[in-house]
C-alpha cells in the first residue's frame, strides 16, 4: 500500500495547482465503499486529466496485484480465516490432509482440525498487521519485509489434543509455515496461558521474535514430511 501511495503522490505532482486543490477537496468527502476507494478515485482523476495513460494504469494495477497476492485474505472474517481458510489451504497443498471423522478416528470429538496418516493436526492461522496503525485489517496489512511492528497471536492451543501444530502466518506477499510438536510448543519461551488457570495456551510471533521460530519454519512442499516425522513422536 505504501508503494502505491508513493507512486500516486509522484503522479499527482504533475497536476495543475487548480486540479491539485480540486482533488484534495473531493478526497475529503470520499466515502470508500467496496470496490470504490480513495485510490480508485485518484487513478480515475489522473486518467481524466491525461496524467496517466491506460497502459500506465494497467502496469500499476498489475504490479500492485503481483505484490499483494494475499491481500484478499485480510478481508475475511476472523472465523472464516481461522477456522475454514487455514484448513482448506493445507488440504489444497496436499490432498493427504483430510477432515477428521469417527470413521478414521473413532475417538474423534472435534478436538483437532486435520488428519493425515494417523496424525492429529491442529491448524492455527494469523495475519500480520501493523500494530501501530488504526483502521481495518486490509489497511493495516503488511508486506513480509516491511520492518514494521506486528503481533500474530496463535491462540486456543491444547497440546494434549493433537500430535502436531501447524502455524500459518500470512503477509500480503508471502505465507509462512511453522510446524511444532506439542512438546516444542510447551517448551517455547513465548507460550503462556490464554486464561488464568485454563487449559488453553497461546504463542505470539512478533517482528521482534520471529527469527527464534526459524527452526520450525518450512516450505509448503515440506509440510507433510515434517508433520509425519514430528507427529509420530507422541511425546508431549
pLDDT tens digits for range 38-76: 999 999 999 999 999 999 999 999 988 888 899 999 999
| Contact (Cβ atoms closer than 8 angstroms) between residue 119 and residue 104 | no
Residue 115 CA, chain-centre distance (Å), reads 23
Q: Hey, what's the torsion of the CAs at 226, 229, 230, 235, to 10 degrees?
A: 180
pLDDT score for 234: 62
Comparing CA positions, the residue from 4, 5, 6, 10 lying closest to residue 51 is 10
Residue spans in the chain of domains classed CATH 3.40.1350: 71-231
pTM listed for this prediction: 0.81
pLDDT digits (tens, 9 = 90+) for 6-19: 899 999 999 999 99
Examine the pLDDT at 116 and tell me if it is beyond 70.
Answer: yes
CATH number for the 71-231 domain, one of 1.25.10, 1.10.10, 1.20.950, 3.40.1350?
3.40.1350
The enclosing H or E element of 122 equals: strand 119-127
Q: Which long-range contacts (CB under 8 A, 24 or more apart) does 97-100 make?
A: 97/121, 97/224
pLDDT digits (tens, 9 = 90+) for 88-109: 999 999 999 999 999 999 999 9
Amino acid at each position: 500500500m505504501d508503494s502505491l501511495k508513493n507512486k500516486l503522490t509522484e503522479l499527482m505532482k504533475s497536476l495543475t495547482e487548480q486540479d491539485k486543490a480540486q482533488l484534495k477537496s473531493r478526497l475529503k468527502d470520499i466515502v470508500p465503499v467496496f470496490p470504490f476507494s480513495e485510490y480508485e478515485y485518484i487513478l480515475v482523476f489522473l486518467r481524466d486529466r491525461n496524467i496517466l495513460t491506460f497502459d500506465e494504469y494497467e502496469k500499476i494495477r498489475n504490479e500492485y496485484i503481483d505484490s499483494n497476492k494475499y491481500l484478499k485474505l485480510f478481508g475475511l472474517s476472523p472465523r472464516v480465516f481461522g477456522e475454514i481458510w487455514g484448513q482448506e489451504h493445507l488440504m489444497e497443498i496436499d490432498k493427504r490432509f483430510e477432515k477428521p471423522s469417527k470413521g478414521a478416528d473413532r475417538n474423534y470429538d472435534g478436538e483437532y482440525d486435520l488428519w493425515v496418516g494417523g496424525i492429529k493436526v491442529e491448524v492455527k492461522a494469523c495475519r500480520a498487521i501493523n500494530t501501530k496503525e488504526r483502521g481495518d485489517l486490509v489497511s493495516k496489512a503488511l508486506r513480509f519485509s516491511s520492518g514494521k511492528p506486528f503481533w500474530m497471536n496463535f491462540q486456543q492451543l491444547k497440546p494434549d489434543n493433537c500430535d502436531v501444530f501447524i502455524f500459518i502466518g500470512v503477509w500480503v506477499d508471502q505465507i509462512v509455515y511453522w510446524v511444532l510438536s506439542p512438546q516444542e510448543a510447551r517448551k517455547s519461551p513465548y507460550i503462556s496461558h490464554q486464561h488464568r488457570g485454563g487449559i488453553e495456551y497461546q504463542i505470539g510471533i512478533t517482528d521482534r521474535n520471529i527469527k527464534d521460530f526459524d527452526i520450525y519454519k518450512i516450505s509448503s512442499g515440506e509440510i507433510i514430511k515434517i508433520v509425519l516425522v514430528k507427529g509420530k513422536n507422541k511425546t508431549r
